[in-house]
Amino acid sequence: MAFHKLFSRLTINTSPSIVTRSIHVSPSLLISKPNLVKPKPGLGISYRRIVHYPEEYTVKPLEVTNLAGRDPVSGRIVAKGIGGGIKHKFHWIKWFRDGPTEGPPQEEKVIEVLECGCRTAHVALVAVGKEMKYILATENMKAGDIIKTSRHLPRIPVRANEGDAYVLGALPTGTLVHSIEKVPGKGGVYVNAAGTYGTILRRQDDRIIVQMPSKMLFSFDERCMAVVGRLSNIEHGSTPIGSAQRNRWLGNRPRSGLWKRKDGRHGRKIKPPKPVKEIHAKADQRSPPIQMTMHH
């Protein structure tokens, strides 16, 4: 139909000197599909859900709109592996742990440790003064614990407990840490998944070398904040999903069926072994010695 409209507008203008052809194309035929950029890992673009954040921080669970893998503007499917899932409320984590730069550390009390359906690690509700906030819970954190936060950089390393937040330069070598800041004062960025931790290896001048869960070594400023301990929900990575229905509850859509893992259903090819390669010692290729005599 489009080609019929296109060539029906073909006109030929004849003149004594030259013959020209002009094609008039409707503007509607030039409209192309929008260029949708698929998300790349690590850029923070999510096609799973939209969280409706209020103007000010609150501990009230936030409302969520599930996207099911669709672009929020065009509505087109971008991530085919997302779909379904149980509806969850979102707990707003306060990534910035701030404390005094001098004097004793600030003490905070853990009120409750609960599960969050929108992340892998558990969440702890913490109160300090009249303020309440959510943080990531550590391995052994429980209600009633007292955790400390300080930005003071002492000459002697401090003896920190699980859940305490200090600058990297204040912690001794070998300490397990998580929620590490990339830039001082910008909030925890690295090591936030369930059961993960980084290890402080050594100091180089004013830099702290930390081994990440991927075994890579990162160098941080000594004034970057980090939380001591291993993150909660350690069994998350080793727990099997168990059933296809539970996989749909988690929001994972089944594959198309075009790809299938080689599971050995039809056996394997039995190839004849290669012939044995014989290795022999090299023959002595030296020439016989020449004997010289005095006889003519």
Residue 25 has pLDDT above 50, yes or no: no
Instruction: Please say whether the beta carbons of 83 and 68 come within 8 A.
Output: yes
Indicate the residue type of 234.
Answer: I
Q: Which residue has the higher pLDDT, 204 or 286?
A: 204
> Domain for residue 31, yes or no?
no
Q: Which residue has the higher pLDDT, 125 or 7?
A: 125
Q: Residue 5 belongs to what H/E stretch? A: helix 2-8
pLDDT in tens, 146-183: 999 999 998 899 999 999 999 999 999 999 999 999 98
Residue 194 has pLDDT above 90, yes or no: yes
Task: Label residue 5 by pLDDT band (50, 70, 90).
Answer: very low
> Domain for residue 265, yes or no?
no
Q: Looking at the 3D structure of the chain, how many domains does it have?
A: 1
295 CB burial (10 A radius; 0-12, 13-18, 19+) = exposed
Q: Report phi then psi at 123, rounded to 5.
A: -120, 140
pLDDT in tens, 99-123: 888 888 999 999 999 999 889 999 9
> Domain for residue 24, yes or no?
no
Residue 225 has pLDDT above 90, yes or no: yes
> Domain for residue 112, yes or no?
yes
> Domain for residue 282, yes or no?
no
pLDDT in tens, 36-76: 555 444 456 788 888 888 889 999 999 989 999 898 888 89
CATH code (residue 152): 2.30.30.30
Domain that holds residue 138: 106-231
Tokens found for residue 114: 């609960």
Q: How far is CA 88 from the centre of its chain?
A: 21
> Domain for residue 224, yes or no?
yes
> Domain for residue 287, yes or no?
no
> Domain for residue 97, yes or no?
no
